[in-house]
């Protein structure tokens, strides 16, 4: 350990060193719990898409094409929001962006609950998802920029436990609300309102403050973090400034030049593959499982979907325990290869008799769901770890723009064939896509990012970083 987080004696430290030397304590626990809750609330807005379908069909007579348009409206809004996120998060800061975008999302969700036509719902869903995309794109960089190198993967994986919790709330609520889409919108609005109150109480990212030259503010945050963990920290430390600003023109150009070009290329490929696999399953999955397992029942099999959701939660618990051991490549292997194999096995069960078929489908579906988070969260972790503070939000946001844009295409195309192809054929297609995607990911992955210190600047700017404060 450095000669002291208790007293720096005027020595010069990078912000990464200070955070690495901060002993694990109440701040870290609170940081994880707060962000996990935030992820659960964000999940409600996202996961309610397929559970809005029955209500929209009943009230507006929406057909498959219109439902795919509703799903695409969410993706389009997220893509636009992700495009704006780095500008806001790097100019205004992580915290102000979260507060602003969460407030807008809350208001738009309330407005959506009062919509009187399907077209009005589409417009408000697009706008609300844009502000949601801004907030969610800022959340990841804000969270990771407080974490130490040790156990960072486990701490990143831990917050993903909130996603199945949010999805579970949607599944239960859709049953309690009897497919009332307006009440589903109000659920999202109320939960986002609660999150808005919470965002007013968080710290600004100290890495962001240092990267933008706000050294005294960063020192105040660091001193408070140490105090919450029962330690003393001397403000005599001189925090090293790695780069001048997180929004200068050179930083954006760096994303497509030199050492970062292979990384951003891999990100775009990776997130495009996710749009063809995970997003497709999340959107059409409930309807596909209904057609596969209960073809004579028009109601969504919520009890079974909850079992699959519990499987997802259990998979994320396992991920927390092993994510740093298997690395990001291991997460991709589970998320693409193993899940793809299970989807093919699930598709093959349609030839079995009814009793054995339903039992085996339930098991395979739950195990397959447990693999979902490995590829998805592995991708998020890789982006957050592979890029420096000056490019982290931009890289993640650009990846999400591509992912959501690709999702719009895949959702619209798939909607045209949704009724003409049986459910088991769709699962075969998704399984094969996952397997092929896994091969592409392994061939294109430029580096393992697990268990390595977060970058504060490029290798070029790091050499030039000598200014002190």
Cα–Cα distance between 28 and 347 in angstroms, integer? 43
**233-270 pLDDT, tens digit each:** 776 677 665 444 444 444 566 778 777 889 999 999 99
**334-386 pLDDT, tens digit each:** 999 999 999 999 888 887 777 778 888 889 989 998 988 898 888 988 988 88
Cβ burial of 425 (10 Å; 0-12, 13-18, 19+) is middle
Start-to-end CA distance of the chain, whole Å, equals 22
Residues counted in the chain: 469
Q: Considering only CA atoms, which of 237, 230, 212 is closest in space to residue 95? A: 212
Residue 78 within any structural domain of the chain:
yes
Cα–Cα distance between 159 and 468 in angstroms, integer? 34
Here the CATH number for the domain that contains residue 437 is 1.20.1250.20
State residue 456's pLDDT score: 61
Say if CB 184 and CB 55 are below 8 A apart.
yes
pTM higher than the cut 0.75: yes
Residue 5 within any structural domain of the chain:
no
Q: Considering only CA atoms, which of 35, 36, 3 is closest in space to residue 18? A: 3
Radius of gyration of the chain (CA): 22
Tell me the C-alpha to C-alpha distance, in Å, between residue 465 and each of 36, 215, 457: 35, 15, 9
Read off the DSSP letter of residue 115.
-
Q: What angle do CA 375, 379, 380 make, to 5 degrees?
A: 125
Q: Which residue has the tokens 């982006």?
A: 383
Which residue range forms the structural domain that includes residue 31?
12-464
How many CB atoms neighbour CB 114 within 10 A? 11
Paired strand residues for 238: 12
Cα–Cα distance between 214 and 212 in angstroms, integer? 6
State residue 463's pLDDT score: 42
Tens digit of pLDDT at every position of the chain (469 positions): 344 444 455 567 778 888 888 888 999 999 999 999 999 999 999 999 888 988 998 888 888 888 889 989 999 999 999 889 988 988 899 999 999 999 999 999 999 999 989 999 999 999 999 999 999 999 989 999 999 888 888 898 899 999 999 999 999 999 899 889 999 999 999 999 999 999 999 999 998 988 888 888 988 898 899 999 888 877 667 766 544 444 444 456 677 877 788 999 999 999 999 888 888 888 788 878 888 888 777 776 778 888 888 988 999 899 888 888 888 899 999 999 999 999 999 888 887 777 778 888 889 989 998 988 898 888 988 988 888 877 888 888 888 888 888 888 888 787 777 667 888 888 898 999 999 999 999 999 888 887 777 766 554 444 443 433 3
Residue 131 within any structural domain of the chain:
yes
Read off the DSSP letter of residue 208.
H
Q: Considering only CA atoms, which of 385, 379, 378, 372 is closest in space to residue 339? A: 372
Q: Considering only CA atoms, which of 402, 374, 240, 393 is closest in space to residue 311? A: 374
Cα–Cα distance between 192 and 186 in angstroms, integer? 10
SS3 at position 55: helix
Residue 417 within any structural domain of the chain:
yes
State residue 242's pLDDT score: 47
Say if CB 374 and CB 331 are below 8 A apart.
yes
State residue 455's pLDDT score: 65
| DSSP conformation letters of 376-390 | HHHHHHHHHHHS-HH
What does the block give as tokens for 153? 């993967």
Cβ burial of 112 (10 Å; 0-12, 13-18, 19+) is buried
How many CB atoms neighbour CB 452 within 10 A? 12
What sign results for the dihedral spanned by CA atoms 358, 361, 366, 369?
A: negative
Q: Considering only CA atoms, which of 387, 381, 137 is closest in space to residue 260? A: 387
Three-state DSSP string of 156-181: HHHHCCHHHHHHHHHHHHHHHCCCCH
State residue 450's pLDDT score: 76
Report CA 160 to chain centroid distance, whole Å.
8
Residue 7 within any structural domain of the chain:
no
What residues have CB less than 8 Å from 196, skipping those under 6 apart? Answer: 99, 102, 103, 106
Say if CB 380 and CB 124 are below 8 A apart.
no
Say if CB 393 and CB 97 are below 8 A apart.
no
Contacts 24+ apart (CB under 8 A), 345-354: 346/292, 346/427, 346/431, 347/424, 347/425, 347/427, 347/428, 347/431, 348/424, 349/424, 350/292, 350/422, 350/423, 350/424
Q: How many domains does the chain have?
A: 1
Say if CB 402 and CB 268 are below 8 A apart.
yes
Q: What angle do CA 131, 194, 378 make, to 5 degrees?
A: 60
Residue 1 within any structural domain of the chain:
no
Cα–Cα distance between 251 and 247 in angstroms, integer? 7
Paired strand residues for 239: 13
Say if CB 19 and CB 218 are below 8 A apart.
no
Q: Which residue has the tokens 């077209």?
A: 119
């Amino acid at each position: 350990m450095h000669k002291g987080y208790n007293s720096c004696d005027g020595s010069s430290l990078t912000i990464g060193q200070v955070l690495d030397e901060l002993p694990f304590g109440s701040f870290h626990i609170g940081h994880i719990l707060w962000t996990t809750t935030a992820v659960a609330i964000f999940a409600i807005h996202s996961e309610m898409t397929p559970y809005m379908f029955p209500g929209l069909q009943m009230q507006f007579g929406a057909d498959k094409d219109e439902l795919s348009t509703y799903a695409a409206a969410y993706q389009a809004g997220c893509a636009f929001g992700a495009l704006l996120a780095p500008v806001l998060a790097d100019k205004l800061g992580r915290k102000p962006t979260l507060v602003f975008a969460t407030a807008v999302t809350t208001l738009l969700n309330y407005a959506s609950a009062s919509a009187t036509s399907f077209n009005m719902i589409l417009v408000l869903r697009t706008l609300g998802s844009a502000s949601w995309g801004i907030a969610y794109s800022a959340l990841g960089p804000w969270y990771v920029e407080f974490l130490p190198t040790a156990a960072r993967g486990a701490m990143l994986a831990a917050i993903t436990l909130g996603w199945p919790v949010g999805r579970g709330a949607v599944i239960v609520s859709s049953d309690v609300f009897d497919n009332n889409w307006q009440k589903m919108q109000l659920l999202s609005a109320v939960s986002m309102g609660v999150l808005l109150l919470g965002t007013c109480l968080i710290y600004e990212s100290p890495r962001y403050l240092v990267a933008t030259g706000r050294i005294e503010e960063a020192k105040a945050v660091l001193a408070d973090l140490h105090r919450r963990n029962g330690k003393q920290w001397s403000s005599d430390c001189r925090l090293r400034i790695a780069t001048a600003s997180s929004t200068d023109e050179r930083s954006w150009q760096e994303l497509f030049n030199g050492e970062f070009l292979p990384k951003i290329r891999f990100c775009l490929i990776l997130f495009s593959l996710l749009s063809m696999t995970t997003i497709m399953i999340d959107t059409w999955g409930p309807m596909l499982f209904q057609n596969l397992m209960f073809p004579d029942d028009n109601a969504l099999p919520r009890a079974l979907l909850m079992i699959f959701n519990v499987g997802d939660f259990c998979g994320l618990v396992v991920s927390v325990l092993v994510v740093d051991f298997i690395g990001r490549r291991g997460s991709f292997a589970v998320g693409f290869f193993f899940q793809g194999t299970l989807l093919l096995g699930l598709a093959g069960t349609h030839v079995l008799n009814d009793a054995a078929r339903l039992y085996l489908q339930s098991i395979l579906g739950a195990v397959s769901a447990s693999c979902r988070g490995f590829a998805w969260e592995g991708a998020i972790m890789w982006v957050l770890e592979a890029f420096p503070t000056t490019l982290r939000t931009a890289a993640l946001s650009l990846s999400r723009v591509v992912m959501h844009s690709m999702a719009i295409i895949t959702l619209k195309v798939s909607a045209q064939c949704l009724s003409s192809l049986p459910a088991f054929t769709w699962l075969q297609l998704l399984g094969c896509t996952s397997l092929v995607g896994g091969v592409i990911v392994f061939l294109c992955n430029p580096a393992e990012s697990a268990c390595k210190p977060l970058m504060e600047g490029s290798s070029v700017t790091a050499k030039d970083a000598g200014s002190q404060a």
